[in-house]
């Protein structure tokens, strides 16, 4: 080999550097955030946990957002992993969406992910949120977001301790017809509201099953990892019905007909009553299977009544507020809120606009979450809001299970003079799936 002459080396290097200095640099406009694009440095990197039917609806709302890049999904079921990957890859026109089976591996490995969409079954909601927030992720968690009062408190404490943004999927808090009803109640347009009605699901019962389905041969762990699917729940024999939604109505997995819709409607009612920071203190047992007609009372005497059916609205997940100046109600399918008189509906657009101006919240639940990931503000359905409305769910359930009236202290988060009720504030969690 010929020796490289030092003088020639310096001369060639200088020439190359000079050429680079004058050569034009072609950088795509999208990389700079021009032309309506969002620069990569400004995008939020998202991942998913347990995305099925409801989670897919959330994901479809998030994917078109220009400042979002969804990169990975985690699920113990192969079919669900594949379905999410297909949706995401088709959206971006690539094959980049990565797949994970174990949530622990997913959270540990993907340090690039800013926020997580979690849409598991009820049994995993609180633990997945806590593990994600401890791993430095913000989280959008589907509802019902806790199985017990203790789980809800742990989620709220974790969000505060780690400074994470948390939004629970009570999306009606971000829909105009519900917002209008809430604002009319909150602002005094109905006078001092004395009663709110909250819709509970018209299927299943408050008293849930404590047996389990007959065991069948487990599939391979790649097809469906049963241990991971169960997570913190007690061990139960594998049955494919569970993984197809048959877990509903079982105590191990569900929060009853009260939690199914009450996770939404209790938050809606408590928002209109100005009670998002607390829960009712009195729960009156009713002799039926569902809790329909149960009267709960806040410390100031305001009533929140559980209602099954369409006595106070049409459609699903409804709420209604009654005051001396009239009533207002909303539910799914309403173009606008309903009220006792047309004059209560006269300012619909103005009231919704004033709400947005005052709160700076988008009328999109997923967009509100994404905005808060950037701003670090509290979302509309933040962890404390979730915990207080879910505490109402759990206390109502416990009242039905024990078949007696209960008094609850929302400050101490315990039932007064009732050791049996207090034991039901938490459940054992199966190791290693523990808080």
Q: Looking at the DSSP assignment, which residues form a beta bridge with residue 296?
A: 283, 304
State residue 28's pLDDT score. 53
State residue 423's pLDDT score. 98
C-alpha span between 370 and 375 (Å, rounded):
9
Q: CB of 232 within 8 A of CB of 429?
A: yes
State residue 12's pLDDT score. 57
State residue 38's pLDDT score. 80
**Beta carbons within 10 angstroms of residue 85's beta carbon:** 17
Chain-centroid distance of CA 356 in Å reads 21
Contacts of 163 (CB under 8 A, 6+ apart): 376
Helix axes 176-187, 256-272, angle to 10 degrees: 60
State residue 333's pLDDT score. 84
State residue 21's pLDDT score. 47
- For the chain, what are the domain ranges? 40-168, 172-207+254-363+384-423
Q: How far is CA 414 from CA 128, 184, 279, in A?
A: 25, 32, 11
pLDDT under 50: residue ranges of the chain: 1-4, 9-10, 13-14, 16-24, 27, 29, 31-32
C-alpha span between 228 and 75 (Å, rounded):
9
Which two three-digit tokens encode residue 406?
Answer: 């209960």
**Beta carbons within 10 angstroms of residue 165's beta carbon:** 25
C-alpha span between 101 and 225 (Å, rounded):
8
Decide: residue 335, CB within 10 A, 0-12 exposed, 13-18 middle, 19+ buried.
exposed
State residue 386's pLDDT score. 98
The CATH code for residues 40-168 is 3.40.50.720
**Beta carbons within 10 angstroms of residue 422's beta carbon:** 16
State residue 434's pLDDT score. 97
Q: Which parts of 93-243 fold into alpha helices (H)?
A: 103-109, 122-134, 149-162, 176-187, 226-230, 240-241
- CATH of the structural domain 172-207+254-363+384-423, one choice from 3.30.360.10, 3.40.109.10, 3.40.47.10, 3.10.20.600: 3.30.360.10
């Amino acid at each position: 080999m010929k020796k490289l002459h030092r003088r020639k080396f310096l001369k060639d290097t200088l020439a190359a550097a000079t050429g680079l200095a004058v050569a034009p640099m072609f950088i795509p406009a999208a990389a700079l955030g021009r032309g309506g694009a969002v620069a990569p440095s400004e995008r939020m990197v998202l991942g998913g946990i347990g995305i099925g039917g409801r989670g897919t609806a959330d994901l479809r709302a998030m994917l078109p957002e220009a400042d979002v890049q969804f990169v990975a999904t985690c699920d113990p079921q192969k079919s669900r992993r594949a379905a999410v990957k297909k949706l995401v890859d088709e959206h971006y026109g690539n094959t980049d969406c990565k797949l994970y089976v174990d949530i622990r591996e997913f959270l540990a490995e993907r340090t690039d992910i800013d926020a997580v969409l979690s849409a598991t079954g009820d049994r995993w909601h609180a633990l997945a949120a806590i593990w994600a927030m401890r791993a430095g992720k913000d989280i959008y968690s589907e509802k019902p977001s806790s199985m017990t009062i203790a789980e809800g408190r742990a989620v709220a404490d974790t969000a505060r301790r780690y400074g994470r943004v948390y939004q629970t999927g009570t999306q009606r808090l971000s829909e105009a017809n519900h917002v209008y009803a809430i604002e009319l109640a909150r602002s005094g347009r109905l006078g001092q509201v004395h009663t709110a009605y909250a819709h509970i699901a018209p299927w299943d019962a408050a008293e849930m099953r404590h047996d389990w389905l007959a065991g069948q041969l487990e599939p391979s762990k790649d097809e469906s990892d049963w241990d991971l699917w169960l997570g913190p729940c007690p061990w139960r024999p594998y049955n494919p019905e569970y993984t197809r939604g048959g877990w509903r109505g079982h105590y191990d997995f569900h929060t009853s007909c009260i939690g199914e819709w009450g996770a939404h409607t209790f938050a809606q009612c408590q928002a209109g009553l100005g009670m998002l920071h607390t829960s009712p203190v009195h729960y009156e047992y009713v002799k039926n299977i569902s809790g329909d007609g149960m009267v709960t009372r806040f410390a100031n005497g305001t009533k929140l009544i559980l209602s099954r059916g369409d006595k106070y609205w049409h459609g699903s997940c409804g709420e209604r507020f009654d005051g001396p100046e009239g009533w207002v109600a909303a539910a799914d399918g309403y173009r606008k809120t309903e009220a006792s008189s047309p004059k209560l509906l006269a300012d619909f657009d103005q009231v919704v606009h004033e709400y947005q101006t005052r709160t700076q919240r988008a009328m999109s639940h997923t967009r509100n979450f994404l905005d808060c990931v950037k701003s670090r503000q509290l979302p509309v359905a933040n962890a404390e809001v979730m915990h207080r409305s879910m505490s109402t769910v759990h206390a109502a359930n416990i009242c039905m299970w024990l078949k007696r009236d209960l008094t609850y202290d929302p400050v101490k988060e315990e039932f007064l003079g009732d050791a049996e009720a207090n034991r039901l504030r938490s459940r054992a969690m199966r190791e290693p799936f523990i808080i």
